[in-house]
Amino acid sequence: MTKFDEATQAIRVDETTYDVCLDPGYAIGGPLNGGYLMAVLLRAVVDASPHEHPVSTTVQFLKAPAPGPARVHVEQLKAGRTAAFTRATLVRDGVAHLEALVTTATLPTASSVSYSGRPPLAMPPLERCRRLPDPKPESGMTLNAQMELFFDPPTIGWLTGEPTGRPESRAYFRMAEPQDPDPFVLALAVDALPPVVFSAGARGWAPTVDLTWHLRALPAPGWLTLYGSGRLVADGWFDEEVEVWDSEGKLVAQSRQLARVGRG
């Protein structure tokens, strides 16, 4: 079992209840990363489902939970031969922090593709991409140690005060501990990029309010490529869309979230 598998495991208490322990190693300046929280919740949902894969997940982030013991409550809404529908709630200290609707299905190992678009842009080779500087220990940015991100240089111009002015972020991604990507890693990956609004000139924590993501195919081993973009930054809100492509050039996940513009 990898560290990520251990940090996201859900232990069944009964048919509708799972014990989890939220790991402080997935924090972003204090709050836990939303993708990590989704992975925890999905472990319980998949275990309770007759199907193996979370193909569609919509999460409302009601409150940022602190690390420590928590529970996931699952309610099976409908289960059929091709898909099952589940409502899930992440509860910490008796308070609901995440509410989710999840559709599970069983995807084939080898996809049968009748049409596929192309990645939004050509990424530079990995050796021409850049890592972000290691955060200071007192920053509370523990998430960085759990994964590797190598960025398309223009999309981190905000580090030097030269943002592109467009909401965008692009990077190669993999877990820091060797691990082939799976649907739970993809849940983390769709929320792993710095907020795209940074490249539009904003700074500060940008809390996600709502996030929907779709698992389109099971990923091949190796690096994932993340393409993040936004369409509108206005009135203290922004949207962020992420596409995840695997090492074989296959689209494996798509997400869209609505978030608040942070205050730097």
pLDDT of 146 strictly over 90: yes
Q: pLDDT band at 203, cuts 50/70/90?
A: confident
pLDDT of 88 strictly over 60: yes
Calpha distance 175→147 (Å, rounded): 4
- Give the predicted TM-score (pTM) of the model: 0.96
pLDDT of 87 strictly over 70: yes
Calpha distance 258→206 (Å, rounded): 10
Q: With contact defined as beta carbons under 8 Å apart, do 221 and 247 qualify?
A: yes
- Domains of the chain and CATH, by start: 3-107+122-260 (2.40.160.210)
pLDDT of 263 strictly over 70: no
Report pLDDT digits (tens) over 1-12.
899 999 999 999
Average pLDDT of every residue of the chain: 95
pLDDT of 264 strictly over 60: no
Q: pLDDT band at 244, cuts 50/70/90?
A: very high
Q: Which of 163, 160, 181 is nearest to 172 (CA)?
A: 181
- Mean pLDDT, to the nearest integer, of 168-186? 97
Report pLDDT digits (tens) over 22-81.
999 999 988 999 999 999 999 999 999 999 999 999 999 999 999 999 999 999 999 999
State whether the Cα torsion 137-139-143-148 is positive or negative. negative
Contacts of 36 (CB under 8 A, 6+ apart): 7, 8, 23, 26, 143, 187, 188, 191
Q: Specify the pairing of strand 237-245 against strand 251-260.
A: antiparallel
Q: Which of 234, 242, 240, 184 is nearest to 208 (CA)?
A: 240
Residue-level pLDDT at 153: 96
Burial class (CB in 10 A: 0-12, 13-18, 19+), 256: middle
Residue-level pLDDT at 213: 98
